[in-house]
Amino acid sequence: MISYKRAVDQDGTGFSGHFVEWIDRSKNEEADTLSRLGSKRKPPPLGLFLDILTRPSVWPPREVDIAEPLAPDSVLVEVASNVGDWTEPYMNYLERQIFPMDEREPRMIVRRCKSFTIINQELYKRSISGVFQRCVGP
Neighbours of 3 (CB within 10 A): 15
What is the predicted pLDDT for the residue at 79?
60
What is the predicted pLDDT for the residue at 63?
59
**Which of helix, strand or coil describes residue 119?**
strand
What is the predicted pLDDT for the residue at 125?
92
What is the predicted pLDDT for the residue at 133?
92
CB 109 within 8 A of CB 100: yes
What is the predicted pLDDT for the residue at 57?
77
What is the predicted pLDDT for the residue at 74?
61
CA 47/CA 66 separation, integer angstroms: 41
Provide the whole-model pTM.
0.39
**pLDDT beneath 50: ranges in the chain:** none
